[in-house]
Amino acid sequence: MKDSVKHIAVLVSAGRHPVSGEPRHCHNDSLALALGLNLASKVQVLHAGTPSNPALQDYFALGATQIDVVPNSDDIIESLAAQLTDANLILTGTRAESGEDSGLLPYLLAAKLNVPIVADALEIKANREQLEVLQFLPKGRRRRVLVSLPAVVAVHPSAAEALHFVHARKNLGNINTLHASNTKMQTIIDDSKQADSKQWRAKPARKPIKLIAQTAQTGHERLMAAISNKAKGGTVVNEGNNVEKAQVILRYLREHQLIEF
């Protein structure tokens, strides 16, 4: 049932090519756009940042016809939320698996708008007043969840949506810059604690240092630890016939709830 959800908004950010550093579309957000365009023939595409960013044109190639740009401000969540008060469904990408992004934005938006949020979506289907989401879980597990609308849905990077990139469309879209003045909804005073860019000090990338508990070891203890065989090794079953050995394996699997029979 196409178009059964009114007013779908897709939030897109500007990504960078991992090797060349060239500005380009962000893969996760493109998946969110594709899922949105599956549900409705027209979606609102929203970007917080600079209107002249060349990465935005990629989203025209991917099917957007207009991008509303909210200029950067002190409180991006505030400015975005002001644009989204009427939206029934807000789609975003989930943080990259590699953790290059905090993944907080969809949660902050949902909290601000006081609507539910479902993350790690692989597929979405409109179902009257509700949305049916197929959610990613590790180890090959998937979960179906119904969420009431309006809602925020963050799309998982392995959503199997094919991206249709049409170069000819790249210059056909329209960038609409929204005024900062009409993005102000209200000022929240106790937002000062909220995690934002002010909290962070940027340092060049290096290998992170692992936290290790301090051990007060004497030289002798260290030597012994180094030369003694630390590998614990588990149970070794040498005795018995093959049936008994097989039973030992089965018992182990059951004891640790690794099988369901």
Q: Which of residues 149-168 bind other proteins (CB under 8 A)?
A: 151
- Which phi and psi (to 5°) does residue 81 adopt? -60, -35
227 binds other proteins, rule: CB under 8 A: yes
**Per CB under 8 A, does 144 bind other proteins?**
yes
Q: Which of 53, 66, 73, 135 binds other proteins (CB under 8 A)?
A: 135
Q: Is 49 helix (H, G, I), strand (E, B) or coil?
A: coil
Quickly count: other Cβ atoms within 10 Å of residue 210's Cβ.
5
Q: What is the DSSP track for 148-177?
A: ESSEEEEEPTT--PPP---GGGTTT-EEEE
Among 1, 160, 162, 231, binds other proteins (CB under 8 A): 231
Q: How far apart are CA 69 and CA 88, in angstroms?
A: 19
Q: Of the two residues 1 and 258, which places its CB atom closer to other proteins in the complex? A: 258
* Cα–Cα dist 242/249, whole Å: 11
Separation CA 226–CA 247 (nearest Å): 37
**String of contacts with other proteins for each residue 176-195, x by CB under 8 A:** --------------xx-xxx
Q: How far is the CB of 68 from other proteins (least distance, A)?
A: 23
Which span sits near other proteins by CB under 8 A: 36-44, 58-66, 170-178, 209-217?
209-217
User: Looking only at residues 66 through 125 of this chain, which bind other proteins when binding is defined by CB under 8 A?
Assistant: 95, 98-104, 107-108, 110-111, 115-120
**At its nearest, how many Å lie between other proteins and the CB of residue 169?**
26
